[in-house]
Chain A
Amino acid sequence: MANQFGFRPFSTANLVNPGYTGLTTAAVMQAELDVGIRWSVGDTSVTGYDNPTPNAGIYNPLQPQILMIPRRPTNLFYNVSTPDQWVAEYNDIYRSFWGRDLSYAEILDHESDVLAQYLLKGGERPLDVPPARICTSTARGAASSAICSIRRSPSTPGG
């Protein structure tokens, strides 16, 4: 599949567990170890999976040879492909927080501020930006491309 879609670089030593599942299941972690997984991700929004200290990860308690790298969630949701879809879901979640609906430009402005803060902190951690949906929509307009320009630098602010 990596070859088919041109994913480069690709290494079978890395795994992003869907929904962070399996990290506490002995059989899963044993299987990961057996197939050569050495780097996984952890959800910083879940207790016990955030960075214990800046830019430090957590070795999996079940398989200490696998390092879990805390990954920051973002509000670029996994199930949206277009700006309209993104705005609708964003406002559905955050309407009560903001007290109103935000426009696409406002959402983009706010979310980019959040990402910029991560950057300026010098954090070395991945960002959780679901890959497939958003960037399949690049042909639909500059707005989508703007999202993708963020998504295509997913790994880490340097630091």
Chain B
Amino acid sequence: MTTPLISPAMEDLGSRVASRMRYNASGASATVDPNANTITVARRQRGDRAGDRRLRLEQRVLRGATDLIGRVAGGWLGDVVALERRLQRKHRWHDGDGRHDGDWRRHGNRRHAGHRWHDGGRAARRRPAVRLAPAERVGGTSFSLPCASLSVTTGQIGGGQTASALTVAELTGTTDMWTDYVELSPASRIVCSYNLPAGVASSGG
């Protein structure tokens, strides 16, 4: 069993806290309903500047989902932590030197806060991504949680983007393949239906 204890240096802890605060301000949310086997992802209405900046939607959504799945199946939160770290490494938005935590790090003689979009800002800013296919270990068993079908209940997603984009986490580094993620327009809400692996019990969470 991997216990969920970590002991990051204070600057790393600060980066995690700052990241959480950016996520809170982003307006993204996700809800997992294990009874309905669905994940609902929503993006807040445009207008809030922080919300428009779009940060880390994909990994945080995944974390929310796997957190609940872990609890549903009696899994251990440490796997979620490990998953998040994996996803952070895979995160496709980076600041100038390849780090994904761009807050208050030294770059020679200058410092800057926040993310710098890898394509100069414009395209990435309009492309918040959602991927829902982590390989997650619960109770010692690995399985993936693909989005079997996707419906848009409010707003819209990017043209040509489908649930299949959320089956495998293909994107790493600064790659940006339009069909490998799903972009939510402001004030949008999507619902992914998933199938629990055989032998994994679902219960209200």
Check if A and B associate: yes
Which residues of A line the B interface, CB within 8 A?
A: 9, 11, 13-14, 38-39, 53-57, 65, 67, 69, 119, 122, 124-126, 153-159
- 17 A–B contacts from the bound complex (CB under 8 Å): A9-B9, A11-B9, A13-B104, A14-B10, A38-B104, A39-B11, A39-B13, A55-B17, A56-B20, A65-B113, A67-B14, A67-B18, A119-B4, A122-B4, A126-B13, A155-B6, A156-B7
- Chain A nearest CB from B30 CB (Å) reads 15
- B24 in contact (CB, < 8 A): yes
Instruction: Knowing A67-B17, A153-B5 are in contact, say whether A126-B10 is a contact too (CB < 8 A).
Output: yes
Q: Within 8 Å CB of B6, what residues of A?
A: 155-158
Please, how many angstroms separate the alpha-carbon atoms of A120 and B179 in the complex? 38
- B160 in contact (CB, < 8 A): no
B17 touches A57 (CB 8 A): yes
- Specify the main secondary structure of chain B where it touches its partner: helix
A124 touches B24 (CB 8 A): no
Instruction: Knowing A9-B9, A158-B77 are in contact, say whether A39-B14 is a contact too (CB < 8 A).
Output: yes
- B8 in contact (CB, < 8 A): yes
B11 touches A13 (CB 8 A): yes
Q: Say which size band chain B's interface belongs to.
A: 20 to 34
A159 touches B81 (CB 8 A): yes
B11 touches A124 (CB 8 A): no
Contact with A along B7-32 (1 / 0, CB 8 A): 11111011011101100100000000
Q: Within 8 Å CB of A122, what residues of B?
A: 4, 77
- B173 in contact (CB, < 8 A): no
- B64 in contact (CB, < 8 A): no
Q: Within 8 Å CB of A9, what residues of B?
A: 9
Kindly identify which residue among A38, A53, A65, A158 contacts B11, using a CB–CB cutoff of 8 Å. Answer: A38
Q: Within 8 Å CB of B8, what residues of A?
A: 155-156
Which partner residue on chain B sits nearest A70 by CB separation? B17
Q: Within 8 Å CB of B24, what residues of A?
A: 53, 56
- Chain A nearest CB from B73 CB (Å) reads 17
- Chain A nearest CB from B141 CB (Å) reads 21
Instruction: Knowing A65-B113, A158-B78, A159-B77 are in contact, say whether A124-B20 is a contact too (CB < 8 A).
Output: yes
